[in-house]
């Protein structure tokens, strides 16, 4: 298929074929990551800007490394260090970056819609690295890549997403991707954090953890999104861990080949029992290395969609 | 070129490779995606028939090393790279279906050095159609087919078509 | 001299139960029984002539934010839209909680305003919701109502005392119904779309709970509470039931709440962000029903200008509010009269006798001796709204480019034609 998007803003925008194409392209880059020289010149001379208005070390580093491996130049802009704190609007920040001839802007922002805001106003490629509670497309893509590597497919699998769904962009992107590729999605957690509305997207909503994971092939655990939540949503971390955490006892009753996934960073002892995070069926660290290949694929595909200059 | 002619050309090329090599044990074939892969496998089989020894055979996708990526409207689709042997010290023979501008070969040379340091690199192609844009030449050629730039050369499983 | 003869229009004057083709005469700025000999003739053949329309919910932004709008530019928007009187909200800077600010507004309106400006005073000092403003003095200074609009008095005790006090001065109390705890940092209607888009929700109950408290206070104190810009079906239902019982409760609705839904927010365009927010199709239907059956007696705009750079930001960071004066009449005609939910005279009531009755104004009528505030409109005129031609200093509208049907063609205040302006 022909990839024609210069931006990656939301999984919701993508056709299933486009999602599969990204995953297939990521295979190439996974192989590159296994060579001695882990670099290809595909984006040589291009400049990628990591515009991280909301802080993140893992995602930013992953994108940075992905860009380096494609031979692109990287500029990191973190909110506290930049003119954003001096009151410059997002629009002006972006126009300034475009004036510097950046080719790709990877944006993480605390406001839903921020990536689209940029993409609507800029000619360069815009990659959404997380906009508020809306979407985090590359996370869902690397989650899907991991599932496909381990299970051989996505269609027909039972995937349970457990935790704070309401404030989670990872949840939303995963819900869209998994339903588009034919998985059966169950959402579980406290009723204040898992609104029934998501049934309209084709998910099963469940407030009992045991029931939610009984038939799961994949259990994707989410962090409690402190920074996005209202204080009032549920009593305490301790209560969450007891009633909704993935304990060894609960995990023992799942399918023998069920996988444990987590976007990180994990809160050991809260959403997951500490030992489980390191067990054989946890693919959490593999998600990280897959993230690199997937982000290389996304950067390669989007940055390669440019208008062709007409020869004089 | 029909199937019979193709097979004869490959057989002749295999013999040439054996004749001109100093140490058969160092030879490794690398098929260039897409059309070179199948040909490399056929060539490897013929070399094995002639020498009685298995010759390592890998495949290389050169998409990421193309020199025209920033000029294209859409990203070309990448295919598989799989080289299971150590490249360093080997006598690598690139296998491709058609030699035209020479740019694919340049990309392949650029990429293979990321895997190690070959002792020697040579190029085997089924068809040389002329119109080189870089100082590249093939060491082993199945057939020279002069063409004009408007023509297309397609190498299929059992035949070569010029249109 | 302000002498006019408006000839041959279909005159709709609900206060006098008039709906007929005839002339309207103006002498010395008042409606007259007979024409003045030197009167300027306005040809209204094929057009509709009504008492000047009243918008009782408008933000003129002066004093304090004249970068967004001024009394001069805001009243020009009103004139364009066919409105001859506007009630301006007190969330200015300083707030309209003191006689000085009221005097300033009235003086500016006199000097540069082209329509009547009727100030609303604050309920509480600084509209902070903690201490009553000097309501009696504000009444003497010329306010027509009290409201903390922009904000909502959260303390039921303060609201009760304000109502009791306002009763003494026969001032209606208008309320922007919003429970701050339930609404918190919500930016759009809490529902399917807010959940899909990942935005914090502004739930319907945040409005309904305050509507309910207002009903109970109005019943207890036996004085008038007017619920501003109803947005939810639940609110309409509460008001309807309370009115049946004879409670002194009233309500208004804004065109955006009966023409747009929360789905419009899916592009993250802050021109669709206002408070209360756009809600679901069933809420839109309930508001239309409420307008049709008289539960909602008034239509107004909540004209809320914001500078372009303030609105062109991330959705959750943008201020709430949109322009409304220039599109209000057309949208109301399209949604209600053209769709046959209301007759034209019934719609005219929402802009004339409705507001006049609520605020005890000597306006909204073409009786002989009344101020010659007159709107001449063409309910069938087709036009396209181009916000770049607006009289406002701001541009924040979701209706730019819309094909509209219905327009004011002449706006007359005190016998003077204020729109169109002769160049």
CATH number, domain of A45, equals 3.40.50.1370
Domain assignments of chain B as residue spans, ordered by start: 3-66+80-162
pLDDT digits (tens, 9 = 90+) for C382-399: 999 999 999 999 999 999
Q: Where are the alpha helices (DSSP H) in chain A?
A: 16-32, 58-69, 90-99, 114-121, 137-151, 169-180, 209-213, 237-244, 248-252, 274-277, 284-303
Minimum mean pLDDT among A235-244, C146-155, C198-207, C323-332: which range? A235-244
**ipTM value of the model?**
0.90
Asked if A84 and A101 sit in the same domain, the reply is yes
Select the residue of B64, B74, B110 nearest A3 (Cβ to Cβ): B74
How much is the pLDDT for A82?
Answer: 59
DSSP for residue C335: I
Q: What are A's interface residues with C at a Cβ cutoff of 8 A?
A: 12, 89-91, 109, 111-114, 116-117, 131-135, 166-167, 169, 172, 195, 197-198, 200-201, 230
**CATH class of the C53-364+381-388 domain in this structure:** alpha beta
How much is the pLDDT for C214?
Answer: 98
Instruction: Read off the pTM.
Output: 0.91
Q: Which chains touch A (3 or more CB pairs under 8 A)?
A: B, C
pLDDT digits (tens, 9 = 90+) for A127-147: 999 999 999 999 999 999 999
C-alpha–C-alpha distance, residues C242 and C417, integer Å:
41
Helix (H, G, I), strand (E, B) or coil at C178: coil
pLDDT digits (tens, 9 = 90+) for C42-64: 999 999 999 999 999 999 999 99
Domain that holds residue A252: 137-288
Chain C nearest CA to A235, separation (Å): 17
Domain annotation covers residue A3 = no
Instruction: State yes or no: pLDDT of C168 exceeds 90.
Output: yes
pLDDT digits (tens, 9 = 90+) for B21-64: 989 999 999 999 989 999 999 999 999 999 999 999 999 999 99
Instruction: Answer with the residue of higher pLDDT: C162 or A238.
Output: C162
Rounded to the nearest 10°, the torsion over CA B146, B151, B154, B159 is -60
- Phi, psi (deg, nearest 5) at residue C15: -60, -35
How much is the pLDDT for A310?
Answer: 42
Domain assignments of chain C as residue spans, ordered by start: 53-364+381-388
Asked if A167 and A224 sit in the same domain, the reply is yes
How much is the pLDDT for A94?
Answer: 83
Select the residue of A12, A91, A116 nearest C312 (Cβ to Cβ): A91
Q: Does B128 touch chain A (CB under 8 A)?
A: no
A37/B115 CB distance under 8 A: yes
Q: Does B149 touch chain A (CB under 8 A)?
A: no
pLDDT digits (tens, 9 = 90+) for C287-342: 999 999 999 999 999 999 999 999 999 999 999 999 999 999 999 999 999 999 99
Asked if A110 and A243 sit in the same domain, the reply is no
Domain count within chain A? 2
**CATH class of the B3-66+80-162 domain in this structure:** alpha beta
pLDDT digits (tens, 9 = 90+) for B109-126: 999 999 999 999 999 999
Asked if A151 and A284 sit in the same domain, the reply is yes
Select the residue of A89, A131, A201 nearest C309 (Cβ to Cβ): A89
One DSSP character per residue, C258-326 reads HH--GGGGGG--GGG--SSPP--HHHHHHHHHHHHTTSS-EE---B----HHHHSS-GGGSPS-B--TT
pLDDT digit string (tens) for chain A, length 312 residues:
889 999 999 999 999 999 999 999 999 999 999 998 999 999 999 999 999 998 888 999 999 999 999 999 999 988 765 566 677 888 888 888 888 889 999 999 999 999 999 999 999 999 999 999 999 999 999 999 999 999 999 999 999 999 999 999 999 999 999 999 999 999 999 999 999 999 999 999 999 999 999 999 999 999 876 666 666 677 788 888 889 999 999 999 999 999 999 998 888 888 899 999 999 999 999 999 999 999 999 999 999 987 544 444
**Tokens found for residue C358:** 């609520």
C-alpha–C-alpha distance, residues C411 and C420, integer Å:
7
The catalytic site residues of C sit at 302
Asked if A75 and A25 sit in the same domain, the reply is yes
CA distances from A37 to A40, A72, B84 (A): 8, 15, 15
Chain C residues with beta carbon closer than 8 angstroms to that of A114: 314
Asked if A259 and A190 sit in the same domain, the reply is yes
Q: Does C307 touch chain A (CB under 8 A)?
A: no
Chain A residues with beta carbon closer than 8 angstroms to that of B81: 28, 31-32
Chain B residues with beta carbon closer than 8 angstroms to that of A70: 64
Computed over every residue of chain C, the mean pLDDT equals 97
Q: Does C383 touch chain A (CB under 8 A)?
A: no
**Chain A residue closest in CA terms to B80:** A28
- Phi, psi (deg, nearest 5) at residue C18: -105, 135
Asked if A224 and A293 sit in the same domain, the reply is no
Number of Cβ within a 10 Å radius of residue C360: 13
C-alpha–C-alpha distance, residues A118 and A169, integer Å:
18
Domain annotation covers residue A240 = yes
Which of B60, B67, B69, B79 is the best substitution to test chain A (most A C-beta atoms within 10 A)? B69
% of chain C residues with pLDDT over 70: 99
Of the pLDDT bands very low, low, confident and very high (cuts 50, 70, 90), residue C7 is very high
- Cβ contacts of C157 within 8 Å, gap of 6 or more: none
């Amino acid at each position: 298929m022909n990839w024609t998007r210069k931006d990656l803003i939301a999984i919701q925008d993508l056709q299933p074929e486009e999602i599969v194409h990204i995953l297939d392209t990521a295979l190439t880059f996974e192989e590159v990551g296994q060579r001695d020289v882990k670099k290809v010149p595909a984006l040589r001379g291009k400049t990628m800007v990591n515009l991280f208005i909301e802080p993140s070390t893992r995602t930013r580093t992953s994108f940075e490394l992905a860009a380096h491996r494609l031979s692109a130049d990287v500029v990191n802009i973190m909110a506290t260090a930049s003119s954003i704190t001096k009151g410059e609007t997002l629009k002006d920040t972006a126009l300034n970056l475009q004036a510097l001839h950046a080719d790709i802007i990877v944006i993480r922002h605390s406001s839903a819609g921020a990536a689209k805001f940029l993409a609507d106003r800029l000619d360069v490629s815009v990659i959404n690295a997380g906009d508020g509670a809306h979407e985090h497309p590359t996370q869902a893509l690397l989650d899907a890549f991991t599932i496909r590597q381990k299970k051989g497919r996505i269609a027909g699998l039972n995937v349970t997403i457990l935790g704070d769904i309401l404030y989670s962009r990872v949840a939303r992107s995963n819900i869209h991707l998994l339903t588009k590729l034919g998985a059966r999605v169950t959402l579980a957690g406290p009723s204040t954090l898992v609104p029934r509305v998501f049934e309209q997207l084709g998910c099963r909503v469940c407030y009992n953890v045991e029931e939610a994971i009984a038939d799961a092939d994949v259990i994707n655990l989410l962090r409690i999104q402190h920074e996005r939540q209202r204080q009032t949503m549920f009593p305490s971390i301790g209560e969450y861990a007891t009633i909704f955490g993935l304990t060894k006892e609960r995990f023992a009753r799942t399918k023998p080949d069920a996988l444990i996934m987590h976007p990180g960073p994990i809160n050991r002892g809260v959403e997951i029992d500490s030992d489980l995070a390191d067990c054989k069926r946890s693919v959490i660290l593999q998600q990280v290395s897959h993230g690199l290949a997937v982000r290389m694929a996304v950067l390669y595909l989007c940055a390669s969609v440019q208008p062709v200059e007409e020869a004089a | 070129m029909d199937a019979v002619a193709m097979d004869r050309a490959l057989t002749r090329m295999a013999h040439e490779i054996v004749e001109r090599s100093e140490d058969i044990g160092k030879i490794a074939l690398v098929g260039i995606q897409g059309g070179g892969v199948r040909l490399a496998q056929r060539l490897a089989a013929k070399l094995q028939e002639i020498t009685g020894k298995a010759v390592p055979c890998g495949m290389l996708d050169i998409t990421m090393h193309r020199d025209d990526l920033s000029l294209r409207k859409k990203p070309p689709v990448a295919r598989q790279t799989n080289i299971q042997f150590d490249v360093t010290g080997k006598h690598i023979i690139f296998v491709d279906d058609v030699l035209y501008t020479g740019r694919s070969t340049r990309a392949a040379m650029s990429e293979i050095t990321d895997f190690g340091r070959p002792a020697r690199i040579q190029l085997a192609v089924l068809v040389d159609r002329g119109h080189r844009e870089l100082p590249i030449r093939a060491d082993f050629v199945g057939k020279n087919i002069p063409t004009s730039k408007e023509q297309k050369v397609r190498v299929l499983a059992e035949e070569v078509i010029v249109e | 001299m302000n002498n006019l003869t408006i000839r041959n229009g279909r005159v709709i004057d609900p206060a006098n139960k008039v709906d007929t083709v005839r002339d309207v005469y103006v002498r010395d700025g008042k409606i007259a029984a007979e024409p003045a000999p030197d009167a300027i003739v306005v040809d209204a053949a094929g057009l509709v002539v009504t008492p000047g329309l009243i918008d009782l919910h408008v933000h003129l932004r002066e004093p304090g934010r004249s970068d967004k709008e001024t009394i001069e530019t805001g009243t020009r928007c009103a004139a364009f839209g066919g409105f001859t009187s506007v009630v301006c909200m007190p969330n200015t800077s300083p707030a309209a909680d003191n006689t000085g600010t009221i005097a300033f507004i009235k003086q500016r309106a006199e000097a540069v305003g082209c329509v009547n400006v009727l100030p609303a005073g604050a309920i509480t000092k600084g509209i902070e919701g903690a201490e009553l403003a000097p309501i009696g003095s504000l009444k003497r200074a010329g306010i027509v109502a009290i409201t903390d609009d922009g904000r909502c008095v959260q303390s039921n005790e303060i609201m009760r005392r304000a109502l009791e006090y306002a009763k003494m001065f026969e001032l209606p109390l208008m309320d922007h119904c919003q429970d701050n705890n339930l609404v918190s940092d919500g930016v759009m209607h809490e529902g399917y779309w807010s959940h899909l888009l990942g935005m914090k929700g502004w739930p319907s109950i945040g409005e309904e709970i305050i509507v309910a408290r207002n009903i109970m206070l109005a019943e207890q104190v036996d004085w008038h509470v007017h619920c501003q810009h109803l947005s939810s079906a639940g609110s309409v239902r509460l008001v309807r039931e309370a009115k049946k019982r004879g409670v002194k409760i009233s309500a208004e609705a804004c065109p955006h709440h009966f023409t747009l839904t929360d789905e419009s927010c899916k592009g993250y365009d802050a021109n669709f962000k206002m408070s209360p927010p756009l809600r679901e199709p069933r809420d839109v239907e309930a508001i239309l029903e409420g307008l049709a059956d008289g539960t909602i007696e008034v239509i107004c705009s909540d004209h809320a200008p914001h500078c372009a750079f303030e609105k062109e930001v991330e959705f959750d960071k943008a201020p709430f509010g949109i322009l409304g004066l220039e599109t209000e009449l057309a949208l109301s005609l399209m949604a209600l009269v053209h769709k046959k939910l209301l007759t034209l005279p019934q719609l005219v009531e929402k802009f004339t006798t409705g507001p006049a009755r609520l605020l005890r104004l000597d306006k909204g009528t073409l009786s002989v001796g009344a101020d010659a505030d007159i709107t001449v409109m063409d309910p069938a005129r087709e036009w396209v709204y181009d916000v770049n031609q607006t009289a406002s200093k701001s541009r924040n509208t979701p209706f730019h480019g819309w094909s509209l049907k219905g327009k004011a063609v002449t706006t007359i205040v005190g016998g003077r034609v204020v729109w169109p302006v002769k160049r």
